Amino acid sequence: MRKKLVVALLLLLLSAISAVADQIVLKNGDRLSGSITKSDGKELVIKTEYAGDITVKFDAIQSITSTGDLNVSLAGKTVLGPVITSGDDLIVATKNAGPVEAPKSSMTMLRNPAEQAAYEKSLHPGLLEGWKGGLNLGFAATTGNSETENLNIAFNALRTGFHDKLTLYATSIYAINNATSPSQTTADSSAGGLLYDHDFSKRGFAFVNGDFFSNALQDLNLRSTFGGGLGVHVIKTTATTFDLLLGVNYTHESYSSFSVAPVAPATTPTIVAARSDSLAGVTLGENLAQKFGKNTILTQSWFLYPDLSQTGELRSVFALGTVTKLNKWLGWQNTFGDTYITNPPATRLRNDLQLATGVSFTFTH
């Protein structure tokens, strides 16, 4: 009874001195005054007038007194009100439910109103918020004994929310050899894609994806693949996510006609007719995002598309990218892609590889 009376008097005192700063007392006797910002149960941050933000170990705190409202997760429930400590207990003076008391060790979250508002906003970020990635532009040219020009563009970006993730990638490579007449194009291909997933449980999610690829040397005008399905988060931490995906897809691809040089005794070239395919298939995939320290992000995905229309035919799309920040806006970017098909037009190769590397413009928003 006496303890409850003391608590009531303390809470009454808090309401009367709301203009006074928050205060924490450490077990070694030190006192810090200011504005309590946040705590995760392991550390507590208090903003002081002369020293700015100070972080202290939570288990080093003897007592806490806040004069303003704090959002507190205590013993499995979240409450709002001024906070004081009494021995090993934390007491929150809520306006509606009265004093809520629980052991300090049961506190897992504490935020002031500004921090709470920022947290709630982060749960629903805008479409342009939360992005990390880079854009790489590269050009190389030679003259003299060789006459070549090479242009490559690579882009990758990752946006991770609390319950969803969006991955974008694009690469384009063009190369020409001017040593011969007429000039000979030695590379002309572009690839791009996106993958979006949204959680419906702690481990399960639904996804949609799209991949686009063109290659002039393979006479592929455009291959478009659209799919969707379900997946599972095998690993989901702040530094690493690794997902497995299963779904269905629809693919449309079109090839232009081309001529094949005659082989003796033939004297006229063989014309390979234009081709257009529409295919239904299964989607099997995995997707990885890994942070290395504060400056490097790796994204990797591999999708297999077994064809349901033609048994035994399949496509494979592999993408890998890294971005390492060198300073606030400059970074080093590497991208690699491999597209494999089992049924290209006659005389055309099954594999197309793309590699781009160089200095990039990194961004974080």
Q: Across the strands, what pairs with 260?
A: 270
Total domains, the chain:
2
Q: Look at residue 257 in the predicted model and tell me its pLDDT.
A: 81
Q: Return all residues near 161 (Cβ < 8 A) that are at least 6 apart.
A: 125, 130
Residues 37 and 90 in one domain: yes
Q: Residue 40 belongs to what domain range?
A: 2-122
The amino acid that residue 48 corresponds to is: T
Q: Which of 66, 87, 122 is the last residue of a domain?
A: 122
CA 189 to chain centre: 26
Place of tokens 């064809």: 307
Residues 301 and 217 in one domain: yes
Q: Look at residue 20 in the predicted model and tell me its pLDDT.
A: 63
Q: Which of 98, 122, 146 is the last residue of a domain?
A: 122
Q: Which stretches of the chain drop beneath a pLDDT of 50?
A: 1-3, 5-6, 9, 15-19
Distance CA 271, CA 260 (A): 6
Residues 111 and 185 in one domain: no
Residues 353 and 205 in one domain: yes
Residues 174 and 199 in one domain: yes
Residues 239 and 183 in one domain: yes
Q: Which of 102, 122, 142 is the last residue of a domain?
A: 122
Whole-prediction pTM = 0.67
3-class SS letters over the chain: CHHHHHHHHHHHHHHHCCCCCEEEEECCCCEEEEEEEEECCCEEEEEECCCEEEEEEHHHEEEEECCCCEEEEECCEEEEECEEEECCEEEEEECCCEEEEEEHHHEEEEECHHHHHHHHHHCCCCCCCCEEEEEEEEEEEECCCCCEEEEEEEEEEEEECCCEEEEEEEEEEEEEECCCCCCEEEEEEEEEEEEEEEECCCCEEEEEEEEEEEEHHHCEEEEEEEEEEEEEEEEECCCEEEEEEEEEEEEEEEECCEEECCCCCCCCCEEECCEEEEEEEEEEEEEEEEEECCCEEEEEEEEEEEECCCCCCEEEEEEEEEEEECCCCEEEEEEEEEEEECCCCCCCCCEEEEEEEEEEEEEEC
Residues 96 and 161 in one domain: no
The CATH code of the domain that includes 228 is: 2.40.230
Residues 249 and 136 in one domain: yes
Residues 211 and 169 in one domain: yes
Q: Look at residue 207 in the predicted model and tell me its pLDDT.
A: 95
Residues 150 and 63 in one domain: no
Residues 204 and 324 in one domain: yes
Residues 350 and 215 in one domain: yes
Q: Please report, in angstroms and rounded to a whole number, the separation of the first and last CA atoms in the chain.
A: 54
Nearest Cα neighbor of 351 from 189, 184, 155, 176 is 189
Q: Look at residue 18 in the predicted model and tell me its pLDDT.
A: 45
Q: Look at residue 11 in the predicted model and tell me its pLDDT.
A: 53
